[in-house]
Structure 1
Amino acid sequence: MESTTDTLAEDADTDSTAISLQGWSLTGKQGSVFDDIDLEVPAGAIVIVRGPAGSGKTSLLLSLAGRMQVSEGQGRLGELDIRKRARAVRGQVAVGHVAGLTDLENDFTVAQHVAERRIMLQPWYKPWVSKSSLREVIGLIRQTFASATEFIDALPEGTFSTTDAQEADFLIDDDGEVFVSELSELQKFFLEFGLASLSRPPAVVIDNIDYLREAADRARAWAGLLIYQQLRQSRDPDNPLTVIVSCEDSGEFDIASRSLGSEAEPTAVIELELTAHRPSRHGSRH
């Protein structure tokens, strides 16, 4: 495993540790999934988990979110022991995208998805949300999407290909009456991320950003994550957002980070490189 860290903000509070891992390892029936990961992540950082298919990226992210038990190692989320207090960790680490876990309902509107998630976060005796509350959430998602789109569209012509869908507003109307089936893949990405962020968690994990097929979409997605981190920092400086994202290639992150510059700086950028393990002789990995 290889981990590198670049501290971007000179005044970053590196004493505030979001995630700490020592010897973090997972072994399955077919052999090692990932092993001996040591990682120190300051609050407000962005972590890029990079590696080929079969290198254990999804399993690692799920283990950090308290949704998969590891075999060995020590891990902490702030003051929480990840292995001993997985249920509490699940309440602190939101899942922004994992295929099969965060899939959206095509026949739901955006407003219905937002309302459903808000109700889940409220006390049982308050099974409703106001229209003003919905508009506030939808407005923040739109703001993030619009900012990410504007920054990419300002790059020199030919840097990325663009399509009409990428030029469109995130939502057709402020009330979010558009159906999920009408959204582009990038718009769905930001909706999933927006839903994950509703509880204002300390950390969000996002698996396989490469599922966005177009390079321009991936760059806009990275830009949106950086922009939202900055929005969160400005609105709630005592509760910065740590983002952990997996991918096979992080080239579009480099472009987004360079282009945004000081407009959106996480406390640190940490890159963790995973390698695919050979299957044991008793089975094969897919």
Structure 2
Amino acid sequence: MESTKDTLAEDADIDAPAVSLRGWSLSGKQGDVFTDVDLEVPTGAVAVVRGPAGSGKTSFLLSLAGRMKVSAGEGRLGDLDIRKQTRKVRGQVAVGHIGGLTDLEDDFTVAQHVAERQIMLQPWYKPWASKSTLREVIGLFRDAFTTATELIDDLPPGTFSKQDAQRADFLIDDNGEVFVSELSELQKFFLEFGLASLSRPPVVVIDNIDYLRESADRARAWAGILIYQQMRRSRDPEDPLTVIVSCEDSSELDIATSSLGSRAEPSVLELELPPHLPAQRGSKH
């Protein structure tokens, strides 16, 4: 396969890379999955990994998250060697959505999912989550949506509206008693993203945002990512969030950025993965 190429917006304001790859490659029994990827993602940026189905996007994100071993190359997550320090990398890269890995339980409530994630983040000797802790965490989620709504209210007419934010507000009640089965796909997306963000990780990876079928929902999802990223940067400039998202088409990101304007202006980097060509029988690799 050919090497990938990337372009970086000139407005990146943090020079230190969150992720740095050189010759990053993965091969399997069926041939190359991705090969010879050179990439630097600045801290606090949005990296868009584009490619058709079967181009290795999911495997690429899993390799960045320390959940899949590559065949060759050098990779660093900040000061960590991705290949040699996978356990620490998994603690620094949260997974916002990967089908089959982050699937929510339809029979669980929002509060139960929050409690489960909270317990995972606590010391082993505290295998429970108090009601007060759950209310506090759910309150943080609600505050995020309130802030997003306020931001959207200040936008010029004809862009995102308050109804756009309300459509994405999955927290129907203060106690999070709504069941996952009652949520829309967009609401599930934001629940997964919210759960991934609970530990305040430096990096969140999100796979296949195209699974949201409606273009408007994909635009809302991109807007939500950008708004949360900007909120975190504003509250703690020393701890920005880097987001890496895979998709086949990123046109809805353009809609979100043009609608939000300077209120949520990201540094955007785009990486194109070429189509994956299966190995022919009898060929050598």
TM-score, normalized by length of structure 2?
A: 0.90
**2: CA distance, partners of 1:214 / 1:139:** 28
- Tell me the matched-pair count: 276
Name the residue aligned to 1:90: 90
Kept after mapping to 2: 8 A contact 1:204/1:243: yes
Name the residue aligned to 1:2: 5
* Range that drifts further, 184-193 or 124-133: 124-133
Name the residue aligned to 2:255: 255
- The correspondence of residues 166-181 of structure 1 with structure 2, limited to 5 A, is 167=167, 169-181=169-181
**1: CA distance, partners of 2:222 / 2:136:** 23
**2: CA distance, partners of 1:151 / 1:66:** 36
Kept after mapping to 1: 8 A contact 2:168/2:186: no
Aligned-pair CA distance for 1:206: 0.3
Say if 1:228 and 1:17 are closer, same or farther in 2 by CA, change over 3 A.
same
Say if 1:167 and 1:191 are closer, same or farther in 2 by CA, change over 3 A.
closer
Report SS of the residue matched to 1:91: helix
Report SS of the residue matched to 1:190: helix
**2: CA distance, partners of 1:149 / 1:72:** 47
Tell me whether 1:271 sits opposite 2:270 in the alignment.
yes
Q: Match for 2:44: what amino acid?
A: G
Tell me whether 1:104 sits opposite 2:107 in the alignment.
no
Q: Deviations over 1:224-279 (max 9, x none)?
A: 0001111111222211110000000001000101111111123x210001111221
* Structure 1 unaligned residues grouped into runs of 5+: none
Q: Deviations over 1:8-45 (max 9, x none)?
A: 35xx121x220000010111111111011101111111
Q: Match for 1:192: what amino acid?
A: E
Q: Deviations over 1:187-216 (max 9, x none)?
A: 000000111111111100000000000011
* Structure 2 unaligned residues grouped into runs of 5+: none
Name the residue aligned to 1:156: 158
TM-score, normalized by length of structure 1?
A: 0.89
Say if 1:99 and 1:149 are closer, same or farther in 2 by CA, change over 3 A.
farther
Q: Deviations over 1:47-85 (max 9, x none)?
A: 000010011100000000000001110000000000011
Percent of residue pairs bearing the same amino acid type: 72
- The correspondence of residues 107-126 of structure 1 with structure 2, limited to 5 A, is 107-126=107-126
Q: Deviations over 1:128-159 (max 9, x none)?
A: 223333233223333445627984997639x9
Q: Match for 1:105: what amino acid?
A: E
Report SS of the residue matched to 2:259: helix
Q: Match for 2:229: what amino acid?
A: Q
Name the residue aligned to 1:208: 208
